[in-house]
Amino acid sequence: MTKEEQREKLLEIRNNLSTTEVKEKSKLIKKRLFATEEYNTAQTILIYISFNNEVRTKAIIKKLLAEDKRVIVPITDTEEKRLYLSELKNFEQELTPSSTYGILEPKPEYRRLINKEELDLIIAPGVGFDDSCNRIGYGGGYYDRLLASDPQVLTIALAFSEQLAEQIKTSCHDQKVEKIITDKKIISCK
């Protein structure tokens, strides 16, 4: 199986989860995340805004904001194939669907760009993972470039147990995460 075939298979598995399963499993993952030392000690956290059948992050973001942590969300630049990082202060007011993927991103008037060196923690999305903390994304390499540019920042991935594979096919540019939190277990590779 090629990397692309593996990505498609894992996406299909995730997309076949019902709305109820996604909600229930996301709640379990959120609870596990909130119990980690990494979450509790981090002050400036980059977190993806979920779309489609990803682990839901809206409640996590709202809790971060309520705890007065700095919430940083990605802005996708498809021309440069990179992520810009912007501080979010109000989930309901400041976001709009992006023109590229339809993922919620800060409206232009609410973009507060920060440097990745300010981050304490990255909570990353992904299509699939394995027990060695290998990650396969959507194929654009956005998070791989971000993680490669600052390997000092701890990265946690959120995933449903169905997104775990025996072995993820990787390329030389693929970046691992340090921890994967699923609805059934936590995998730590630090």
How do the domains of the chain map onto residue ranges? 3-188
In the predicted model, what is the mean pLDDT of residues 74-97?
93
Contact 121/58 with Cβ under 8 angstroms?
A: no
Q: If one looks up domain 3-188 in CATH, what number appears?
A: 3.40.50.10420
What is the distance between the alpha carbons of residues 134 and 140, in angstroms, rounded to a whole number?
Answer: 16
Q: What is the pLDDT of residue 1?
A: 83
Indicate the annotated binding residues.
Answer: 3-7, 49, 54, 135-143
What is the distance between the alpha carbons of residues 137 and 151, in angstroms, rounded to a whole number?
Answer: 18
Indicate the annotated binding residues for ATP.
Answer: 3-7, 135-143
Q: What is the pLDDT of residue 170?
A: 86
What is the distance between the alpha carbons of residues 10 and 163, in angstroms, rounded to a whole number?
Answer: 6
Q: What is the CA radius of gyration of the chain?
A: 15
Q: Answer left, alpha or beta for residue 4, where phi above 0 means left and psi between -120 and 50 means alpha.
A: alpha
Angle at the Cα of 103 from the Cα atoms of 178 and 61, rounded to 5 degrees: 55
Read off the pLDDT of residues 11-30 as tens digits, 9 standing for 90 and up: 999 999 999 999 999 999 99
Q: What is the pLDDT of residue 147?
A: 84
Indicate the annotated binding residues for substrate.
Answer: 49, 54
Read off the pLDDT of residues 133-162 as tens digits, 9 standing for 90 and up: 999 998 888 888 888 876 678 999 999 999
Please list, in sequence order, all residues whose beta carbon lies within 8 angstroms of the beta carbon of residue 51, skipping any fewer than 6 positions away: 101, 102, 103, 104
Read off the pLDDT of residues 44-57 as tens digits, 9 standing for 90 and up: 999 999 998 999 99
